[in-house]
Amino acid sequence: MNNHHYYVAILAGGLGTRFWPKSRAAFPKQFLDILNTGKTLIQATFERYASFIPPENIFIITSQEYVHIVKEQLKDIRHENILAEPSRKNTAPCVAYISFKLAEKDTEACLLVAPSDHLVLDTETFKNVSLRALEFVKHMKAFVTLGIQPTYPNTGYGYIQYETLAVADNIFKVRTFTEKPNLELAKTFLASGDFLWNAGIFIWQVKNIIKAFETYQSEMYEVFAAEKDNFNTPEEQNALNRIYPLCTNISIDYAIMEKANNVYVIPSSFGWSDLGTWNSAYDSLEKDYLGNAVAGNNVMVIDATRCMVSAPQDKLLVLQGLDDFILVDTENVLLICKKEKEQQIKEYVAEVKRNIGDEFL
């Protein structure tokens, strides 16, 4: 397979606040084995791409504070492929960073950008879809995103509406992007049949995304372009320290994808979940006969139903009488929360910060 011009950027700098208290600022969810599989989320993500992309072409973009964790968890990755951002500025600056870096070394580079903390169950289908997207952008001045066939009206995902006439094998032009809709709108999207969940996985030729930055984010383009000769040199980190304070905090979705007119989508089904919340973990875990999903070796559940339970492996936890709760036990924090209130966990974290400080965050 001739894929030496194919590259992957795995984004691994997030805080994973909605998985608190298991996910903490010093050790967020991408470095955890949320589903008790024996692999952390970033390990599973790296292995997924390394099955069809040369490992030397896979880059991890993370915060400086997490570089040592990435090195520890991904033994096979080269040190120079771990890229440290000096500050969190959302996804557009890190896409600009890897794009300018690759442009200096490979003028034919095609790039797939993906989160580090998503679940994919059908890895073979995922591989085939990803390679089809890379092959498409290699020959077309196009940006491709992977859209997931929705199975219910989820209000926590973004949605992609697409044209019904394919431009290539199962590849369609995108009509609209919609951020997290309310329930009624999500139901309408599902009923229409031409909406997909936005998986946040993007594919393009590097030279084309750089042109898009020049068109749609000219200020960000200029600060990166001014330093481009420093990429892939010992001056790279110093250049980033100058660039990042000048960058807007903006996602690649808002910065480019929602503005460009050459965006395409591949409708896909490969057992995907963004694992963004404890409820999504609950959906992805096996359940007992009462609908409880348990991550932990020593959990006893008595007369409890539909609960999401996460406990330390060596700790005995006895749960009785709860219905539809999230229960997450860690060494120094215990969270007990109704599943329907999980979107408020970020607010609880903010309340902890206000009243107690950062010790438990």
pLDDT for residue 275: 86
pTM: 0.93
Average pLDDT for consecutive 10-residue bins of the chain (361 residues)?
A: 86 90 93 90 96 96 96 94 95 96 94 95 95 94 94 87 90 91 88 90 97 97 96 95 96 94 94 88 91 92 94 90 95 94 89 93 92
Dihedral-angle region of residue 275 (phi above 0 means left; psi in -120 to 50 means alpha; beta otherwise):
left
Q: Is 145 exposed, middle or buried (0-12, 13-18, 19+ CB in 10 A)?
A: buried
- Token pair for residue 108? 């034919």
Q: Round to whole Å and give the CA distance between 144 and 161.
A: 13
Contact yes or no for 323/335 (Cβ under 8 A) = no
Q: What DSSP letter does each residue of 124-159 carry, written as one string? A: HHHHHHHHHHHHHHHHSS-EEEEEEPPSS--SSS-E
pLDDT for residue 2: 64
DSSP, collapsed to helix, strand or coil, labels residue 171 as: strand
Contact yes or no for 40/28 (Cβ under 8 A) = no
Contact yes or no for 99/143 (Cβ under 8 A) = no
Domains of the chain in start order, with CATH, are 6-273 (3.90.550.10), 278-355 (no CATH)
Q: Round to whole Å and give the CA distance between 121 and 108.
A: 31
